[in-house]
Structure 1
Amino acid sequence: MPVPRNTKTLGTKQPRAGKVGTVTENGKSEKEESCQAKRSPSSPQGGPKKRSAFGDITNAHKSQTVMGKKETVKAGPRKVQKAPVVLGVVKNNEINLKKSMKKTPPTETPAEPKKVPVPEKPVPVQIPTVEDIDKEQLSDPYASAEYAKEIFDYMREREEKFVLPNYMEKQPDISGDMRAILVDWMVEVQENFELNHETLYLAVKLVDHYLVEVVSMRDKLQLIGSTAILIASKFEERCPPCVDDFLYICDDAYKREELIAMEMSILRTLKFDINIPIPYRFLRRFAKTPTLEYYSGYCSQDLHPLVKRLNFLLTYQPHDKLKAVRTKYSHRVFFEVAKATPMDMLKLEEILKS
């Protein structure tokens, strides 16, 4: 996330000193102003002018100096005509001195300049230092790295739309074990055709969402699975297998017309909305960086219920018939997760609490 730029602090222009005093003083004042202008020009970016302290923003000190010079000039003795009598000269001097004191205002201590409040700079948002996981794919036009964040935000919004309920309650002829065997067979098909992993996971999601809406019989379950792989292959693969390939892997148990009819039924039931977010697509992105909390939006505490559920399923569910799944995820590409021993539930609870 880009760090918001700091707000620029507005400067206060210094007022120019008034033109008072003799010609020499004016020339000196203008020279000081020209030097000051050269020393503190406005930056091309519109930044504030430089200044040494708040006391320099007024000309109070300069006015005081000039006024002092004025007072010295006006307070001096004025030339008077010589009188033959000394007392008359003294009296005239006293009168002139009183007149000059009335014309010259008393020197007042200049008031302290008011400090102009400067707006405080906003505190920038603290963003953790994380690696940009999309920078390496900027040169690949097929990766769409410029829009990666927006794409995954869109997928997270759509993920809520495809939450699966427990649909086995309304399937009288299909059980959870039958679905598990079907998924294991679909994994074997994906391995034989060398399809992408996204194709497999999308096909499983198509089967589940179709069975949520349609009550099916067990003799059609393999047809639904093979047709789902065909649809997912058209969506994910560059060169998807043809219809004859899927008829072959079903051992010619179904006809070509049945497979095409099932394809139309699945697409109509799902209203052609088959761009379903799958976990593996998120995993490809999140596995690029150790800062999973930043990119995924989830903290470790959010995953605790799911960890407990998965550990329970791996501990108490039979897996002797699901050989294709176990073989696939025993490979080093998947870090041999199928060989990992499930943890004791009490020990798992202690680890999660710590």
Structure 2
Amino acid sequence: MGRPPTRASGVKALQAIKESSGVGRTKKVSVNSENPSCQPVGVKRSSSPGSIVLPSAKRNALGDVTNAGVRVSVPASKPAGVRKSDRQQSLKKTKEISKTVKLEPDLDVSLEALQTSTLPKDTPVTQVQNFLKATTLHDLSLQSEETLSSPEASSQEPPTQLWRDIDQAEAKDPLFSAQYAPYIYAYMRQREEHFAVAPYMERQGDIHAQMRTILVDWLIEVQENFELFHETLYLAVKIVDLYLSKKDVKREYLQLVGATSMLLAAKFEELTPPLVDDFLYLCDDAYTHDELLKMEQDIFKTVHYDINIPVAYRFLRRLAKAAEATMETHTLARYISESTLQDYQFVVEKPSMVAAASMYLALRMKSLGGWNPTLQHYSGYTVEQMLPFVTRLNTLIQTPLGNTCTVRSKYSHDVFFNVATTPALQDVTMDAEKALAECPTVVESS
């Protein structure tokens, strides 16, 4: 094999391109290798240079205010002109500054510290960055040994926390968003005040509380048949109450209000909500497609297009985690909480209170201890605050409901551990005293 051809220079390659194009050339041009300027012999030099030269930028009237033309070079090894003694002296000065600097969280390293230091002018950028890192005021390692070993620092011990952090186990799992959970539930506590419902049945002329009970009983059947989320059922009942508290409804349109509220709630909560025709079928085609859509617009407008409403079921899940409740105990609390949906007297109650009282009653019905500090912290209620409400709940699950017993029948199934058959408390007050004796340590309500 012969010797591989050497790569032509950039000027020769450019000249070859010009020869092949033939533009502006009528004479064959030969390049003299002995010509140091690489200019063709016998040919007049073209106005364009033989090599590519970037044009100089037009001078700005205000001067060059950018650093586009500044080239910063960071040497890989120690820079020339910096002696070893200078670098040692600079490092010694850096340590002295880091020891004498006062640790205050609101201050930062000023430029004067850099200007007054003995860093050489030719110090690389990396060494300057290391200098800034060494003199940062937020690093606890810069504190002197005397400060760290002072009696004041050692005497400051964290306060004893009586409640257990239930989000600590999922702190490193991004799917749980554990760091946001306390703020989310605090925000829900604020939102529930905005959606408080006042007693409205006295202003309704054509419907009464028993009709509302029948409607909610039917909505529970719809939720069970469509296998919708429990949050959808709670939200639908809340939308019905909000609408009835602001609008007078005739009894022949009460079922339409319930079906449309369930449709709105399903659109908000479900991944695949039921169709409009499905709800019309459940209503035995008593209403038309246009009537349901018109009612949907009216309800949505009445609630000011805001259906992000906190419901008791969401608070209940949080408390079940705080109580470390089994699935059976959690289901019993769900049964108690869901029973309040049918009773008109509970429409004015806060969802957080309903969830807390339901969990407390479920724990006591199962004889699983008292209201510990962790439950009190995450619920925000003490036993004394919940006791009147717990008494009402205990009476509710003991009262026969007649034909509107869908909730009780639902939770009497084996799938739900037959929790509806769990005996209620005999005396809530006496049981509360016993519970306080079992769990005497309480904390302030947060």
Which TM bucket (shorter chain)?
Answer: 0.5 to 0.7
Partner AA of 2:161 in structure 1: I
Deviation at 1:133, TM superposition (A): 3.3
Higher relative contact order (CA 8 A, sep 6+): 1
Other-structure match for 2:179: 146
Deviation at 1:300, TM superposition (A): 2.2
Larger helix proportion of the pair = 1
Deviation at 1:48, TM superposition (A): 4.2
Other-structure match for 2:377: 294
Cα distance in 2 for residues equivalent to 1:168 and 1:184? 18
Taking a change above 3 Å as real, the CA distance of residues 48 and 271 of structure 1, as seen in their structure-2 partners, is same
Other-structure match for 2:156: 122
Once the two structures are superposed, the pairs formed by residues 262-281 of structure 1 within 5 Å of their partners are 262-281=295-314
Cα distance in 2 for residues equivalent to 1:300 and 1:137? 30
Other-structure match for 2:199: 166
Other-structure match for 2:142: 46
Deviation at 1:267, TM superposition (A): 0.5
**Residue aligned with 2:397, SS:** helix
Deviation at 1:249, TM superposition (A): 0.8
TM-score (norm 1): 0.63
**Residue aligned with 1:213, SS:** coil
Deviation at 1:305, TM superposition (A): 1.2
Other-structure match for 2:291: 258
Unaligned residue ranges in structure 1 (runs of 5+): 1-6, 9-42, 54-115
Taking a change above 3 Å as real, the CA distance of residues 148 and 332 of structure 1, as seen in their structure-2 partners, is farther
Deviation at 1:120, TM superposition (A): 7.6
Q: Which of 418, 421, 428 pairs up with 1:348?
A: 428
Is residue 309 from structure 1 mapped to residue 392 from structure 2 by the alignment?
yes
Deviations 1:212-261 (A, max 9, x none): 00011111111000000000000000111111111111111100001001
Cα distance in 2 for residues equivalent to 1:223 and 1:181? 13
Is residue 228 from structure 1 mapped to residue 261 from structure 2 by the alignment?
yes
Deviation at 1:201, TM superposition (A): 0.4
Taking a change above 3 Å as real, the CA distance of residues 128 and 48 of structure 1, as seen in their structure-2 partners, is farther
Taking a change above 3 Å as real, the CA distance of residues 216 and 117 of structure 1, as seen in their structure-2 partners, is closer
TM-score (norm 2): 0.51
Unaligned residue ranges in structure 2 (runs of 5+): 1-102, 105-138, 324-373, 435-446
Deviation at 1:342, TM superposition (A): 3.7
Other-structure match for 2:408: 326
Deviations 1:130-188 (A, max 9, x none): 243363385453x4333221111100111112222211111121111111111110000
Cα distance in 2 for residues equivalent to 1:225 and 1:138? 42
Cα distance in 2 for residues equivalent to 1:278 and 1:304? 21
Once the two structures are superposed, the pairs formed by residues 14-53 of structure 1 within 5 Å of their partners are 45-49=141-145
**Residue aligned with 1:271, SS:** coil
Partner AA of 1:45 in structure 2: S
Partner AA of 1:296 in structure 2: S
Once the two structures are superposed, the pairs formed by residues 71-110 of structure 1 within 5 Å of their partners are none
Deviations 1:252-291 (A, max 9, x none): 1100001001100101000011111100011112211223
Partner AA of 2:170 in structure 1: E
Stretch of structure 1 that moved more, 279-288 or 228-237: 279-288
Deviations 1:94-138 (A, max 9, x none): xxxxxxxxxxxxxxxxxxxxxx99678434222235243363385
Other-structure match for 2:110: none
Q: Which of 249, 255, 277 pairs up with 1:244?
A: 277
Asked if structure 1 preserves the Cα contact closer than 8 Å seen for 2:394 and 2:425, the reply is yes
Cα distance in 2 for residues equivalent to 1:157 and 1:189? 30
Cα distance in 1 for residues equivalent to 2:431 and 2:389? 14
RMSD of equivalent CA atoms: 2.9
Cα distance in 1 for residues equivalent to 2:230 and 2:171? 20
Taking a change above 3 Å as real, the CA distance of residues 348 and 44 of structure 1, as seen in their structure-2 partners, is closer
**Residue aligned with 2:402, SS:** coil
Asked if structure 1 preserves the Cα contact closer than 8 Å seen for 2:166 and 2:321, the reply is no
Other-structure match for 2:336: none
Asked if structure 2 preserves the Cα contact closer than 8 Å seen for 1:184 and 1:323, the reply is yes
Asked if structure 2 preserves the Cα contact closer than 8 Å seen for 1:133 and 1:289, the reply is no
Q: Which of 310, 334, 338 pairs up with 2:420?
A: 338
